[in-house]
């Protein structure tokens, strides 16, 4: 399992490692590139700044030794309006102190590539100093797609970085993109991973940021951008716990032990809100049965999530604030809404459905004979059930089969001394719930 380490290490921002732009081999002017600062989970450390550029992150990380790392990324084409700089998603393998880094991912960077398409990129850092995109010592393989090539939104790319043969090899969908030789780290050798990060990043000069992260959807949306199958090679199993440094603009959500969604629309204009049900509808709801407490979370407006019963379900259920009572059979449809404000739009309506059925009860109408004994008269079992039309089924408990036996005529034979347990059950239907199983138990005596 990965180790969680919020607040355990001093942030890169404190040491200035993210505040040093470097000249690019592929464009004039400073490269704007970051990685999530170590310890950036708490208030006051939510973004890393380089001059007037602010970095916003949704990330997962593993502080563990490994020889390589990988993940599956769904490529997106987020909007990056000026003056914001880029929006990307990447895999970053690093030394434990975060000063030696190799990165691979996709990015939308109009200043770097001259368009608004997502592009494959590689990058590296030496002793806390950033380098440049797709060059500065990187040795390409000559295979397509090469670093800098456009990628198709919606396609899935598995990025992998591993160390072997004196180099950091970069792989995209099984194709060797190229490598960074160990000689780039001549002062401080970098031959194994101590920290791995998988993340989305926005570099913004606007405040609030206008660029989208991922595909522009918040992580609660099932259609949001995804990073899946996070894994380490020769390291522990990854257990995701996404961190969102600026949840007003960009959010993250764990979707599997080794997967997450991430993204958001940025902060320009009213922000969308999304309602997410946190309680699961009961699978055994019955008329007059236990009430159900519905729980849902909403967006950042601060307005409450309000529940109501759909008009066509008012004969099935009622609600008082968040407590749902079941009054008739059918589909109980619970609608949730959240009002917006000047900073947030109204949330899209959400609905949860509970299937409500009529309960059934089984009753034993017959009583066992007084002091039943081995070889005595058979006992005819009589039961009544609910109205589902399903038969009431009888059986003898497994441990009771040495004492009694069930005849096909629903009569009980007494075959040996012991306790006889008769079980009765009745299946349900679309309208009726299965009956609770009931038992009748008595002692069989010898003569």
In a domain? residue 75? yes
44 and 178 assigned to the same domain: yes
Supply the CATH number for residue 313's domain. Answer: 2.60.40
Please, are residues 271 and 33 in contact by the beta-carbon 8 Å criterion? no
pLDDT tens string, the chain, 447 residues long: the values are: 333 232 322 233 322 333 222 222 232 233 346 677 665 443 223 345 555 889 999 999 999 999 999 999 999 999 998 899 999 999 999 999 999 999 999 999 999 999 999 999 999 999 999 999 999 999 999 999 999 999 999 999 999 999 999 999 999 999 999 999 999 999 999 999 999 999 999 999 988 999 999 999 999 999 999 999 999 999 999 999 999 999 989 999 999 999 999 999 998 878 788 999 999 999 999 999 999 999 999 988 889 999 999 999 999 999 999 999 999 999 999 999 999 986 788 999 999 999 999 999 999 999 999 999 999 999 999 999 999 999 999 999 999 999 999 998 999 999 999 999 999 999 999 999 999 999 999 999 998
Residue identified by tokens 């043969």 is 165
CA atoms of 353 and 55, how far apart (whole Å): 41
Q: In sequence order, which residues have a C-beta less than 8 Å from that of residue 184 and are 6 or more positions away? A: 124, 126, 137
Q: How many C-beta atoms lie closer than 10 Å to residue 210's C-beta?
A: 21
Q: To the nearest 10°, the Cα dihedral for 201, 203, 206, 208?
A: 20
The confidence score (pLDDT) of residue 429 equals: 96
R_g over Cα of the chain: 32
Q: Which of these three, 233, 263, 293, is where a domain ends?
A: 263
Continuous H helices in 246-319: none
Shared-domain flag, residues 178 and 323: no
Question: Cβ distance 148 to 35 under 8 Å?
Answer: no
Looking at the fold, whether 335 and 373 belong to one and the same domain comes out as no
What is the C-alpha separation between 34 and 433, in angstroms, rounded? 57
Q: Do residues 217 and 85 both lie within one domain?
A: yes
Report residue 207 as tokens.
């405040």
Asked if residue 197 and residue 228 are part of one domain, the reply reads yes
Same domain? 258 vs 319: no
- State whether 131 and 198 are in the same domain: yes
Residue 268 is predicted with a pLDDT of 87
As a whole number of Å, the end-to-end CA separation of the chain is 65
Same domain (yes/no): 312, 394: no
Check residue 207 and give its pLDDT: 86
Domains of the chain: total: 3
Please say which residue of 240, 263, 286 terminates a domain. 263
> What per-residue confidence (pLDDT) applies to 447?
80
Size (the chain), residues: 447
Same domain, 280 and 341: yes
Residue 270 lies in a domain: no
CB 326 within 8 A of CB 296: no
Of the residues 242, 263, 284, which one is the last residue of a structural domain?
263
**Which parts of 258-391 are beta strand (E)?**
259-263, 276-277, 292-293, 296-297, 305-309, 317-320, 323-326, 330-338, 350-356, 363-364, 379-380, 383-384
pLDDT at 37: 65
CB 270 within 8 A of CB 343: yes
Backbone angles phi, psi at 398, to 5 degrees: -55, -40
- Same-domain pairing of 17 and 66: yes
Q: What pLDDT, on the 0 to 100 scale, is given for residue 198?
A: 98
Cβ pair 35, 47 in contact under 8 A: no
How much is the pLDDT for 50? 52
Q: Which domain holds residue 343?
A: 276-355
Residues 339, 375: one domain? Answer: no
């Amino acid at each position: 399992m990965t180790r969680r380490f919020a607040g355990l290490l001093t942030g890169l921002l404190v040491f200035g490692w993210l505040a040093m732009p470097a000249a690019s081999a592929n464009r004039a002017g400073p490269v704007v590139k970051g990685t999530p600062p170590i310890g950036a989970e708490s208030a006051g450390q939510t973004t890393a700044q380089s001059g007037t550029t602010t970095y916003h992150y949704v990330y997962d990380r593993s502080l563990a030794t490994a020889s390589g790392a990988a993940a599956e990324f769904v490529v997106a084409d987020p909007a990056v309006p000026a003056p914001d700089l880029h929006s990307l998603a990447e895999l970053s393998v690093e030394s434990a102190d975060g000063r030696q880094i190799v990165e691979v991912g996709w990015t939308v960077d109009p200043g770097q590539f001259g368009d608004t398409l997502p592009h494959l990129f590689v990058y590296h850092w030496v002793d806390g100093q950033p380098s440049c995109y797709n060059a500065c010592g990187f040795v390409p393989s000559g295979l397509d797609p090469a670093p800098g090539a456009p990628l198709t939104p919606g396609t899935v790319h598995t990025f992998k970085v591993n160390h072997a043969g004196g180099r950091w090899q970069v792989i995209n969908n099984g194709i060797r993109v190229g490598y960074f030789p160990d000689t780039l780290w001549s002062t401080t050798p970098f031959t194994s991973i101590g920290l791995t990060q998988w993340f989305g990043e926005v570099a913004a000069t606007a405040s609030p940021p206008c660029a989208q992260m991922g595909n522009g959807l918040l992580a609660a949306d099932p259609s949001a951008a995804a990073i899946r199958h996070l894994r380490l090679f020769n390291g522990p199993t990854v257990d995701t716990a996404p961190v969102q440094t600026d949840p007003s603009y960009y959010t993250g959500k764990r979707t599997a032990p080794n997967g997450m969604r991430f993204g958001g629309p940025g902060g320009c204009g009213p922000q969308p809100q999304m309602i997410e049900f946190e309680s699961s509808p009961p699978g055994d709801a019955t008329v007059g049965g236990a009430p159900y407490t519905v729980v849902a979370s909403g967006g950042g407006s601060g307005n409450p999530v309000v529940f109501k019963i759909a008009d066509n379900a008012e004969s099935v259920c009622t609600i008082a604030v968040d407590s749902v009572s079941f009054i008739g059979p059918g589909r109980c449809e619970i609608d949730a809404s959240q009002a917006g404000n000047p900073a947030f739009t109204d949330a899209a309506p959400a609905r949860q459905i509970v299937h409500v059925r009529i309960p059934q009860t089984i009753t034993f109408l017959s009583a066992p004979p007084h002091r039943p004994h081995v070889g005595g008269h058979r006992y005819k079992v009589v039961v009544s059930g609910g109205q589902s039309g399903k038969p009431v089924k009888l059986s003898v408990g497994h441990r009771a089969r040495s004492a009694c036996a069930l005849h096909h005529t629903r009569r009980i034979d007494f075959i040996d001394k012991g306790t006889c347990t008769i079980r009765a059950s009745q299946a349900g239907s679309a309208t009726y719930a299965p009956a609770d199983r009931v038992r009748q138990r008595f002692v069989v005596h010898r003569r």
